[in-house]
A and B are shown apart, each in its own frame.
Chain A
Amino acid sequence: MTQSPTLTRRPTSSAPVLRKSKQRGADARAGYTFLLPWLLGFIALTVGPMISSLYLSFTNYNLFEAPKWIGLDNYTTLFQDERFLQSVGVTLSYVVFGTPLKLAAALAVAMLLNSKRKGQGFYRSAFYAPSLIGASVSIAIVWKAMFGDSGPVDQGLSFFGINLGGWVGNPSMTMPMMILLTVWQFGAPMVIFLAGLKQIPADLYEAASMDGAGPVRKFFNITWPMLSPVIFFNLLMETIHAFQIFASAYIISNGEGGPAGSTLFYTLYLYLRGFSDFRMGYASAMAWLLVIVVGIITLIFFRTSKSWVHYSGDSK
């Protein structure tokens, strides 16, 4: 390069290029400097731990002795562990029933509120409030009390002649109770739905009315397709979120997942294995299975979304 005959001409023609590449170098340095906090956290708190938990999942480790390599034993043991299988069942029924119900409630209420009537802001805030406190220990305590023996739910149902007793102590009623707790927090997806509904041009509905379309057809032919990106977002986030329920289950079952394992959620069992029994290798295997399952579900969502999620051309 230095022997190039054009060397003498270079300074003039390459001055702007030089400045540009200098700028680029400065930008690269600035970029990584500004990114440093996130980068450090990403490596030290996410990537590093993920790799070491993958390693630990193939070992026996109790925090005090060195990890002992046992190959796939943890994974094969998991599928013979009845409590593990139970925790999978509990979590799946929570996700499969709770999430659609919550989103249906959110969408229905958002459609109810989507008008220019007075008081809309008040209702929106009131319905949103549970989302802010629903996952707290305080609400778990209140839920337990409300659904306990002769709590207000029991008494209310008795008034109508339904004598279920306390839901908390009844293994077949704890799941409905937990699902009600998540449905109660429909406010967060509702607010997102409401923002999406407001983006749908009103003239679409007017044109449909002129063509004689009723509310049902308007819903399936306008609202649903126009809202599908928002529905997709809510469905994905709420599903992933539902897999990770912990505090409410811990408090309601005194950290045991009872009665009869009916509130033994996946994360609760993972916690008990890892931090009560100190079977950290086993718990790591559970954690990785969760990551794989959530990853597969996310992938399926994105794959199937092509057939029902419609993005309009002008979206950002």
Chain B
Amino acid sequence: MTTMATPTKPAAEAPAPVYNPKSESAGAKRAKSVIFHIVALALTAVVLYPALWMVASSFKPNAEIGGTNTSLWSNNFSFDNFVTAMDGIGGVSTLQFFTNSLVLAVGAVVGTILSASVSAYAFARIKFPGRSMFFGMMIATLLLPFHVVIIPQYIIFQQLGLVDTYVPLLIGKFLAADAFFVFLMVQFMRNLPAELDEAARIDGAGHVRIFGSIMLPLMKPALISTSIFSFIWSWNDFLGPLLYLNTPEKYPLPLALRLFVDQTQSSDYGAMIAMSVLALLPVLVFFLVFQRYIVEGVSTQGLKG
């Protein structure tokens, strides 16, 4: 990381004495651009190396991973690791784990979209006593370490007999517990012109109509960012399923991976990495397809990865 700051410096300093952007020769400009791309590409290689290594290793025979063959390329590429990985673990096929992950992620998206949009409408568009107090509390939950609630939550769900079901993992999504999404939608709605509601009100529309036929359609970008992030967060979630799920048939992929690590304990490295690749595949596909939304969402809303 230290390498990138230094090479650009001399070039940037050069035209300083008589500042005039046009005085810079075409050659100097070109050289600067070449240096920029060399530095940026080198950095890209470093940043993406772990991902490349993971994908390359998943196609290598066990003996070659961490063996003497240090290059990413192997002459013995095969799909064997993936075949083993698809067999699953503990008598449950990997396809089942995929389905479980998908059910949880889709449930999270549906719940979050429904609850966060409705709550955000109340915060952004309706005046009622206590609104700013509750808004402040919602912001405070953004900063609250959620570990403070996991123990009582577990006790509640345990007493309700809901441990080892998906209810504890999904109920929070339907109750807008991810304050980040509520906040994101509030910010988005506040930027929509107030005249929209006023005009609709004069026409006699109530809040349900204003929300359903004016706000929701206009909120599409915020709804898309929310869907993408709640899908990915649910897909990668580990602590929730670790706490609540006991039977392997119900495991989503991250828990299945842990089981795999526990049971094979480095005896089948290749299959373990192949399964890691499979588990990340949907996230990577999402990223490639929705790249723009994801990166824009982060830069405008401060969403975390």
Contact = CB atoms under 8 A, between A and B. Distances in A.
Q: Bound pair: A and B?
A: yes
Interface in B34-81: 36-37, 39-40, 43-44, 47-48, 50-51, 53-54, 57, 65-67, 70
A185 B304 CA distance: 10
A38 B182 contact: yes
Interface string B201-239: 000001100010000000000000000000010001011
Contact of A270 (B67, B147, B154): B147
Given A28-B128, A35-B122, A191-B295, A146 B53 contact: yes
Interface string B151-194: 11111101000000000000110111100001000000000000
Interface in A30-67: 30-42, 44-46, 48-50, 52-53, 56, 63
B86 to A, nearest CB: 16
A50 B119 contact: no
B167 to A, nearest CB: 12
Interface stretch (A6-14, A68-76, A171-179, A238-246): A238-246
Contacts of A28: 128-129
Interface residues of B, number: 102
Contacts of B65: 145
Given A191-B298, A287-B147, 10 more contacts: A41-B177, A45-B172, A109-B43, A126-B48, A135-B305, A137-B238, A139-B276, A145-B269, A240-B143, A283-B151
Nearest to B153: A49
A187 B9 CA distance: 23
25 contacts: A27-B127, A34-B119, A38-B119, A41-B175, A42-B175, A45-B172, A45-B177, A52-B152, A108-B1, A112-B4, A113-B40, A117-B33, A128-B295, A134-B305, A136-B238, A136-B283, A138-B277, A148-B66, A152-B70, A191-B295, A237-B304, A250-B242, A287-B147, A294-B144, A294-B145
Interface in A261-308: 267, 270-271, 274-275, 280, 283-284, 287-288, 290-291, 294, 298
Interface in B283-305: 283-284, 287, 291, 294-295, 298-300, 302-305
Contacts, number: 290
A230 to B, nearest CB: 9
Please tell me the size bucket of the interface on A.
35 or more
A97 interface: no
A196 B158 CA distance: 46
B113 to A, nearest CB: 11
Contacts of B279: 136-138
A275 B99 CA distance: 27
A224 interface: no
Contacts of A247: 236, 238-239, 254
B105 interface: no
B26 interface: no
A195 B40 CA distance: 18
A129 B48 contact: yes
Contacts of B138: 38, 42
A130 to B, nearest CB: 6
A119 B40 contact: yes
A163 interface: no
A204 interface: no
A119 B40 CA distance: 10
Interface centre among A45, A123, A250 (most CB of B within 10 A): A45
A152 B280 CA distance: 21
B137 interface: yes
Contacts of A187: 47, 305
Interface in B112-136: 114-116, 118-119, 121-123, 126-129, 131, 134
Contacts of B53: 142, 146, 152
A129 B48 CA distance: 8
B14 to A, nearest CB: 11
Nearest to A43: B175
Nearest to B131: A31
A312 interface: no
A137 B287 contact: no
B153 A132 contact: no
Contacts of B283: 132-133, 136
A133 B8 contact: no
B200 interface: no
B128 A31 contact: yes
Interface in A161-220: 184-185, 187-188, 191-192, 194-195, 206, 209-210, 212, 214-215
A228 interface: no
Contacts of A38: 115-116, 119, 122, 134, 138, 175-176, 182
A233 interface: yes
A300 to B, nearest CB: 13
Contact of A34 (B122, B141, B304): B122
